[in-house]
Structure 1
Amino acid sequence: MGSNFFHHPDGWVGTTPWWKDAVFYQVYPASFKDSNGDGWGDIPGLISKIDYLHHLGVDVVWLSPMFESPQQDMGYDISDYQAVYARYGTLADVDQLIAACHSRGMKLILDLVVNHTSDQHAWFRESRSSKSNPKRDWYIWKPPRYDNAGYRIPPTNWRGYFAGSTWTWDEATQEYYLNLYGPFQPDLNWENPECRAAIYEVAMRFWLDRGIDGFRIDTVNKYSKRTDFPDAPITCPDAPHQPAPEMWCNGPRIHEFIHEMQTQVLAPYNAVSVGELSNTPLPSQVLPYVSAAARELDMVFEFSMIRLGTGDLFHGKYLYRPFPLSVLKRHVATWQTFIEGTDGWHTVFCENHDNGRAVSRFGDDSTPELWEASAKTIALWQATLTGTLFLYQGQEIGMKNMPRSWGIEEYKDVESLGFFNEVVALGDEKKIAATLHGLQILARDHSRLPFQWDESPNSGFTGEGVAPWMRVHDEYRELNAAKQLQDPESVLGFYGKVLKLRKKYGDIFVHGKFKLLFPEDESLFTYVKEGVEVGHGSDGEHRRALVVMNFTSRDQKCPNVSSALGCRKGEERLLSWAVFIGK
Structure 2
Amino acid sequence: MRKWWKEGIVYQVYPRSFYDSNGDGIGDLQGVIEKLDYIQSLGADIIWLNPVYRSPNDDNGYDISDYYSIMEDFGTMADWEQLLAQMHQRGMKLIMDLVVNHTSDEHPWFVEARASKDSLYRDYYVWRPADGKQPPNNWRSFFSGSVWELDEQTDEYYLHLFSKKQPDLNWEQEEVRLDIYSMMKWWLDKGIDGFRMDVINMISKPPQFEDAAPVGDDGYANGGDAFINGPRVHEYLQEMNQKVLRHYDILTVGECPGTSPEEALKYVGEDRQELQMLFQFEHMKVDRSPDNKFETIPWKLTTLKRVLTKWQTELHGRGWNSLYWMNHDQPRTVSRFGNDGQYRIASAQMLATCNLTMQGTPYIYQGEEIGMTNVHFTDIEDYQDLESVNYYHTRMKLGEDPRQVLEQIHQQSRDNSRTPMQWDASEHAGFTTGSPWLKVNPNYASINVEQDRVADRSIFAYYQQLIQLRKEHLTLVYGSFENLLEEDEQLFAYVRKDEQGTYLIILNFTEQEARFQLPDYLPHGGWEKLLGNDDNYHDSDQDKQTPANLQNMIFSPYEAAVYRLQP
> CA separation in 1, counterparts of 2:366 and 2:412?
17
Task: Determine which of 214, 230, 241 is the counterpart of 2:194.
Answer: 214
The residue aligned with 2:412 is 442
Within-5 A mapping of 1:161-560: 161-202=142-183, 204-232=184-212, 234-236=213-215, 238-280=217-259, 282-312=260-290, 315-342=291-318, 344-367=319-342, 370-402=343-375, 404=376, 406-429=378-401, 432-463=402-433, 466-487=434-455, 489-507=457-475, 509-531=476-498, 533-534=499-500, 543-560=501-518
SS of 1:20's equivalent in the other structure is helix
Within-5 A mapping of 1:83-94: 83-94=69-80
> CA separation in 1, counterparts of 2:554 and 2:393?
51
Structure 2, unpaired ranges of 5+ = 528-548
> CA separation in 2, counterparts of 1:235 and 1:77?
29
What is the TM-score of this pair, normalised by structure 2? Answer: 0.93
> CA separation in 1, counterparts of 2:34 and 2:216?
53
CA contact (8 A) 2:345 2:457 kept: no
Q: Deviations over 1:177-234 (max 9, x none)?
A: 01011110000000000111111113x12211211111000011111100122222x3
> CA separation in 2, counterparts of 1:340 and 1:81?
36
Deviation, structure 1 residue 153: 0.6
Deviation, structure 1 residue 563: 4.3
Q: CA RMSD in A?
A: 1.5
SS of 1:318's equivalent in the other structure is strand
The residue aligned with 2:564 is 581
Deviation, structure 1 residue 433: 4.0
> CA separation in 1, counterparts of 2:552 and 2:296?
40
SS of 1:221's equivalent in the other structure is helix
Give identity over the alignment, percent.
43
CA contact (8 A) 2:507 2:560 kept: yes
Deviation, structure 1 residue 569: 3.4
Amino acid at match of 2:6: K
Q: Deviations over 1:256-291 (max 9, x none)?
A: 1011111111111222210000112x2111111001
SS of 1:81's equivalent in the other structure is strand
Task: Find out whether 1:134 has 2:120 as its counterpart.
Answer: yes
Deviation, structure 1 residue 88: 0.2
CA contact (8 A) 2:204 2:227 kept: yes
Deviation, structure 1 residue 488: 6.2
**Number of residue equivalences:** 541
CA contact (8 A) 2:254 2:278 kept: yes
Amino acid at match of 1:254: V
**Higher mean Cα deviation, 469-478 or 128-137?**
469-478
Amino acid at match of 1:529: R
Amino acid at match of 1:435: V
Task: Find out whether 1:568 has 2:559 as its counterpart.
Answer: no
> CA separation in 2, counterparts of 1:113 and 1:424?
32
SS of 2:503's equivalent in the other structure is strand
CA contact (8 A) 2:359 2:477 kept: yes
SS of 1:510's equivalent in the other structure is helix
CA contact (8 A) 1:299 1:345 kept: yes
What is the TM-score of this pair, normalised by structure 1? Answer: 0.90
Deviation, structure 1 residue 544: 1.1
Task: Determine which of 73, 81, 98 is the counterpart of 2:67.
Answer: 81
> CA separation in 2, counterparts of 1:60 and 1:328?
27
> CA separation in 2, counterparts of 1:81 and 1:40?
21
> CA separation in 2, counterparts of 1:340 and 1:87?
42
**Higher mean Cα deviation, 19-28 or 261-270?**
261-270
> CA separation in 1, counterparts of 2:284 and 2:168?
26
The residue aligned with 1:29 is 15
SS of 2:175's equivalent in the other structure is helix
